[in-house]
Amino acid sequence: MTTQATTTALDVTDARTGKAYNLPITDGAIRANDLKKISTGEEDDPGLLSYDPAFLNTASCRSSITFIDGDKGILRYRGYPIEQLAEESTFLEVAWLLRHGELPNQKEYDEFVHDITYHTYVHENMRKFLEGFRYDAHPMAMLNSAVAALSSFYPSSRNIMDPVERNISIIRLVAKVPTIAAFCYRHLKGLPFVYPDNDLSYVDNFLSMVARMTEPQYQANPIFSKALEILFILHADHEQNCSTSAVRAVGSSHVDPFSAMSAGIAALFGPLHGGANEQVLRMIEEIGHVKNVPQFIESVKSGKGSRLMGFGHRVYKSYDPRAKIVKRLADQVFEVVGVDKDLEIALELERVALSDEYFISRKLYPNVDFYTGLIYRSMAFPTDFFTVLFAIARTAGWLAQWEEMLLDKEQKIARPRQIYIGPDERPYKRSIDHGHAVGQQKDALRQ
Ligand code: CMC
């Protein structure tokens, strides 16, 4: 990867006019805005647009946070290989690294851990807010609403250009999201909420808020604790994915970070994104037995059934490096708690898919979500809750990306263009009786 801007140029001739243009290329990209210069010269021609639904080939920003080489299966945070961070680091160290660009020194780390630990409590009204949800509310819907609601507790967080306000908002979010997530879990289970324990580490405190019953202090299973720490590191950031783009786009309107992050949680909820971990497990349960795998794969290939969840990626066209680590981690967890009953189905799905022409030709490999669900289930997390675990970790990345976007002088409010394909101007012709509709509304109000 190069961090130096390298400039060359693209010579193009517009076949409509025969005019030649020279468009600078910087870091392998032309500026879409330069295409505006290419025009037929007719009065109503605003210049050439680039058309890129779903951003298949459009860089929306310059970022120094996360690097992915999808062909080689490389993922690095701030230059550090994900494998080394997963092996050596802690989640909070990675959260610091993502935001600040360098690993923290001891003093910085200790202060950061202290700040996070002392901001884990949420306002008591937040528990009342969460108690208002139905007993079977999806925890991602609860988390999303609760994070958006946090904005109302911290009105000064709207001063996003004040570095002190930005800092405390980021600390509050990294600290409080696990508390809210655990409260959602307890609501789901009909159990009393457990308050944070400041003597525990970030991950152990989360596990305590999830699982503590009558014991004075919760002792997390060290294997679970280590596994969750690694899973949080693996999920902490992933450059310009759907949810991060949502946080950046919403944040670009200069709304407060709580509101911007709730947009990210909403995007993550979807089954094509973070919600895939939940869907993988539902898919495996539906397959039911290893003997049904070939039939299931055929239904995927025919397009009649669902997609093979946990497979494929917009950027990775080889094995997702996170999936490799997760698969090894699953083996370690299963050594302690026993092999998950559905592991055999997952392994067979992977084996069949990786040797099938459909998946080979489309470069579809397991992604991070393929094996995480099996680990989460062996830790007794309910399926509905898997994506919440993803969201806790991704909070660090969303906020680092949000701040980078705000401080980037090139960024403005996100506002894509469109190619209008609707009707031309036409005169309005009334086909309903407005008076009748108003009458109905009045009747409804009187009832
Ligand atoms: N199962 C079957 N076919 C697939 C799959 C899949 N999981 N993924 C892609 N394809 C096919 C797709 O039908 C298309 O075939 P064709 O060219 O014949 O029309 C081709 O592969 C390219 O697919 P695409 O939809 O154009 O690819 P994309 O880059 O837009 O989508 C994806 C990427 C992740 C949404 C997609 O691979 C998918 O739906 N995977 C399943 C959901 C999933 O596991 N999501 C988690 C992603 S990783 C974690 C995260 O970042 O959230």
For ligand 1, what atom is nearest to the CA of residue 370? 44
- Give the rounded percent of residues in the chain with a pLDDT score beyond 70: 96
Query: What is the whole-number distance in angstroms between the Cα of residue 318 and the centre of ligand 1?
Result: 13
The answer, yes or no, to whether any atom of ligand 1 lies below 6 A from the CB of 282, is no
Question: Given pLDDT bands bounded at 50, 70 and 90, which one contains residue 434?
Answer: confident
Residue 320 · residue 365 · CB < 8 Å: yes
The answer, yes or no, to whether any atom of ligand 1 lies below 6 A from the CB of 293, is no
Q: Which residues contact 251 (CB under 8 A, 6 or more apart)?
A: 257, 260, 402, 405, 406
Q: Please report how the helices 124-131 and 139-153 are oriented relative to each other, as an axis angle in degrees rounded to 10.
A: 140
Output the pTM of the full model.
0.94
Residue 316 · residue 68 · CB < 8 Å: yes
The answer, yes or no, to whether any atom of ligand 1 lies below 6 A from the CB of 369, is yes
Count of C-beta atoms within a 10 Å radius of residue 405: 21
Residue of minimum CA distance from atom 34 in ligand 1: 313
Question: Given pLDDT bands bounded at 50, 70 and 90, which one contains residue 151?
Answer: very high
The answer, yes or no, to whether any atom of ligand 1 lies below 6 A from the CB of 300, is yes
Query: What is the whole-number distance in angstroms between the Cα of residue 87 and the centre of ligand 1?
Result: 29
Q: Per-residue pLDDT averaged across 5-29, rounded?
A: 92
Q: Mind telling me the catalytic residues?
A: 273, 313, 369
| Residue-averaged pLDDT of the chain | 95
Q: Which helix (H) or strand (E) holds 96?
A: helix 91-100
The pLDDT value recorded for residue 131 is: 95
Query: What is the whole-number distance in angstroms between the Cα of residue 365 and the centre of ligand 1?
Result: 10
Residue of minimum CA distance from atom 40 in ligand 1: 312
The pLDDT value recorded for residue 209 is: 98
